[in-house]
Structures are given as C-alpha cells and as structure tokens.
Structure 1
Amino acid sequence: MPILDLVDLSLTLPGNAGPVDILHDVTLSVEAGESVGLVGPSGSGKSSLLMLMGGLERPSSGRIAAAGQDLTDLGEDALARFRRDNMGVVFQSFHLIPTMTALENVATPLELAGRRDAFDIAARELDAVGLAHRADHYPAQLSGGEQQRVALARAAAPGPRILLADEPTGNLDEATGEVVVRQLFALQERGATLILVTHSPSLAARCDRTIRLRGGRIEPGLRDAAE
C-alpha cells in the first residue's frame, strides 16, 4: 500500500472575483521511503498540493490517504493528532514560536507527544543541523538560514514517516542550503518519505522522482522531468 494515495483531488477556493480553481483531478501515489520533488511554475498548485497531503487544507473533491489513514473526513483534532504521530512539515516561513528558544521549539512536538526525553532528542537534532551552539537563542536572534534549520530539526525530531517541505532551500545561501538538503536526505535514509516543493533543479534532481504541475494539473509524461 502506498504511504500517500491521492485520488481525483480538486481544490477550489473563494476569491474576490469568484471561486478560483487551484487543483484539478490530481491522482498520485507515493511509496514509503520515496523522495518526490514537486516542481512547476509559480501558481501551478505545488504548495496547495503539499497542504492537502498534510491535511492542512481540505480538498473540494476527491480522496487522500496517508500512512493507511483516510484523511478526507477527519476532524481538525484528529488531523492534528495524525500529523503529530506521522508527519513533519517544514514551511517556507518557519513558523517558530518567538517566545521559545531554539531548543524549546524543537522539543515542543516531542513534549506534546509525551516524550520524557524531548530535550535530549531536540539537542541531538539541533546538533545535526549545526546549531548546538545556538540552542538557547530565540528566533529573533537567529538568521533566516538558522531559523530554517531549527524548523527542519523540529520537523525531524519525532522521526516522522512522512516529511513535507515547502521550498526548504528557497531563502538560503548555497552553503546553508546544502546543510538542509543533507539533513532532508538523511531522514530518507532513516526511512522517511520526503515530499519537497522546490524551484531548484539541483534539489529536484536529487529526488527519486519528480512531479511537474502546471495549471493545477500533473503534466502527463513529465512525472520524472525536473523543473
């Protein structure tokens, strides 16, 4: 059974001039342990598709299953529990808690899951992204690249089965971006399935498979072509 199974997903959102069709009849299966790059021009629906995969947006029609669980009709609380237990999400805008240190940010999902070793694991994950020396710093004291690495450490700390990342290297310099990329694929080596939205041809090329979207649809015949 695929770890992600999307069937005829469509997404329509309200707009100032009326409904806006974002995604159209997207069908896609992803195997456990696979890395997939989602590529395509701006506005093609890549980030929206990622949000649907994570249960952070609800489809207008169609069905989505993740790790054997049908997400389509789950309530918000059940979706939150499912993400906590199965998924890590890395947003382009970090979403760190400003009143918490880097260490506390990384430990938070582990504490919510009842892990007594939350801070030990958080410290290891910060060390893995080269930020052990910044553990006691708050987000406002960190550069954008450092905040992105903290966000990655937070997503990786619970050992997710699925990791979703939206432009994980989009705002980073080359050296910092390479640190993030190495950590992403280290997660795959530990068994995680990676879904990466990216405009970077080099990052897409490192994935096992590349899916190109255009106009809210998967382009036929281009499922393995990098942007």
Structure 2
Amino acid sequence: MDVERGESLALVGQSGSGKSSLLMLMGGLEMATEGSVIALGHDLTAMNEDELARFRRENMGVVFQSFHLIPTMTALENVATPLELAGHKDAMERARAELEAVGLGHRMDHYPSQMSGGEQQRVALARAAAPRPAILLADEPTGNLDGENGEAIIRLIFDLRDRHGSTLIMVTHAPEMAQRCDRQIRLTDGEILAPEATV
C-alpha cells in the first residue's frame, strides 16, 4: 500500500478489521512481524525504540480517540511539552499559536479536568500539529465526541492538514469524515480488500 505525500487517506472497515493496527504500524507504534514500513524514505522496521521515538517526534503528529493529555499540566503545557523535548526555543509561542488556531486561546491555563471532551480533543490536535509534522495520524478522532463536537474536530483536522501540508491518514467509522479524504482503503479481517482499493 502506498500513500502519496500530502494525500488524505481514510482507513475504513468494521470493528476488529485491523484499521487501528495498520495505523499503529504506519506510525512505528507497533512493530511489523514481516514486511517493511517506509515513511519519508526511512524504514521504520529497521529502527530501534529510541530511533522510532525521535523519528515520530520530528516527523509525525498522532491523535488518538482517547485524548492522552497529561492531567497535571495546563492546555498550554500539554502542547508545549513535546516541542520543548524536541529542543524548540519557541515552544511556548508555537503552543499558544496552535491553541489559538483550534479556538482555545481562552483556555490555555485550564487543566484537562476543567475542559469538555471536545476541548480536550482540540488540545490533543494542537499538540499533534504544533511540531508541523509531515505526517498526521488520527485514530477515530471523533469517536468520543457528540455530533456537533465531532464535526468541529473534522473541520479542524483538515484545516491543520491544509495549513501544514501534512499527509493525513485516519481511521474512522464516520462516513462523512471518510468522504472528505482524497481516498479510502477498506480493511476486513486484517486484510486490505484490494490493493489501493477506493470506496
């Protein structure tokens, strides 16, 4: 399976079909037992854990269905921390800009427990986008949200993709989200139905 630079791709299929597992393999978050995963010219399957962590930090943004925010940190600190770890001198400024971009300029000093689910997912999106990643991976990013918040997150994801020129690969059950992508690939029982299948 090939994904073009700058493309938006939806991985679709029934629960248990292997969508999230494929996404985790593509992000080097799980290791393939055979074959190879090439991202931006690098073979992820040949890297050790430290090398994979560095590669993700420098090239990928990941958004999960569960927000995975650090509860003892404010929204601003949650977004800035990966930037600081990567050595960006302007970490706080970039974190503020991303939170403004997702409509949370007024919530920067709030902790996750003080925010709604939709707001927490916006923080997670800002954190994923702040490093300006070449690849943005999203695993059911609207799965824990109601319809209105889900629609807002869909718009934000595509806005972030357009603003940073990222390649977007997302797992989704939402037809309206999949239809916004350039292409859809359907999985069933751990298999892609047909190479480069479009839906």
TM above 0.5, yes or no, is: yes
Sort the TM-score into its range (normalised by shorter chain).
over 0.9
| Structure 1 equivalent of residue 47 of structure 2 | 74
- Distance in 2 (CA, whole Å) between partners of 1:132 and 1:104 is 13
| Structure 2 equivalent of residue 200 of structure 1 | 174
- Distance in 2 (CA, whole Å) between partners of 1:132 and 1:223 is 41
- Distance in 2 (CA, whole Å) between partners of 1:223 and 1:167 is 20
Relative to 1, partners in 2 of residues 1:76 and 1:222: Cα closer, same or farther, differing over 3 Å?
Answer: closer
Structure whose CA Rg is larger: 1
- Distance in 2 (CA, whole Å) between partners of 1:133 and 1:42 is 37
For 2:115, give the aligned amino acid: L
Secondary structure in 2 matching 1:30 = coil
Q: How does 1:159-174 map onto structure 2 within 5 Å?
A: 159-174=132-147
Deviation of the 1:163 alpha carbon: 0.4
| Structure 2 equivalent of residue 51 of structure 1 | 24
- Distance in 2 (CA, whole Å) between partners of 1:100 and 1:94 is 13
Given the alignment, which residue of 82, 94, 98 partners 1:109?
82
Identity of aligned residues (%): 68
Given the alignment, which residue of 170, 194, 199 partners 1:220?
194
Larger relative contact order, structure 1 or 2 (CA cutoff 8 Å, min sep 6): 2
| Structure 1 equivalent of residue 117 of structure 2 | 144
* Alignment pair present for 1:134 and 2:124: no
TM-score, with length taken from structure 1: 0.85
Secondary structure in 2 matching 1:212 = strand
Deviation of the 1:221 alpha carbon: 7.2
| Structure 1 equivalent of residue 38 of structure 2 | 65
* Alignment pair present for 1:186 and 2:182: no
For 1:112, give the aligned amino acid: L
Question: Which structure carries more strand by proportion?
Answer: 1
How many correspondences in the alignment?
198
Contact kept, 8 Å, 1:36 with 1:194, in 2: the verdict is yes
Q: Which range moves more in the overlay, 173-182 or 123-132?
A: 173-182
Contact kept, 8 Å, 1:166 with 1:198, in 2: the verdict is yes
RMSD (Å), alpha carbons: 1.2
Unaligned runs of 5+ in 1: 1-27
| Structure 1 equivalent of residue 59 of structure 2 | 86
Contact kept, 8 Å, 2:66 with 2:144, in 1: the verdict is no
| Structure 2 equivalent of residue 210 of structure 1 | 184
Question: Which structure carries more helix by proportion?
Answer: 2
Deviation of the 1:172 alpha carbon: 1.5
Secondary structure in 2 matching 1:96 = coil
- Distance in 1 (CA, whole Å) between partners of 2:190 and 2:89 is 43
For 1:151, give the aligned amino acid: A
Segments ≥4 residues shifted beyond 3 Å: none
**CA-to-partner distance for each residue in 1:24-71, whole Å, 9 max, x for gaps?**
xxxx10000000000000000000001001100001111001011111
Q: Which range moves more in the overlay, 197-206 or 215-224?
A: 215-224
TM-score, with length taken from structure 2: 0.96
Deviation of the 1:224 alpha carbon: 1.5
- Distance in 2 (CA, whole Å) between partners of 1:84 and 1:222 is 28
For 2:24, give the aligned amino acid: M
Deviation of the 1:177 alpha carbon: 1.8
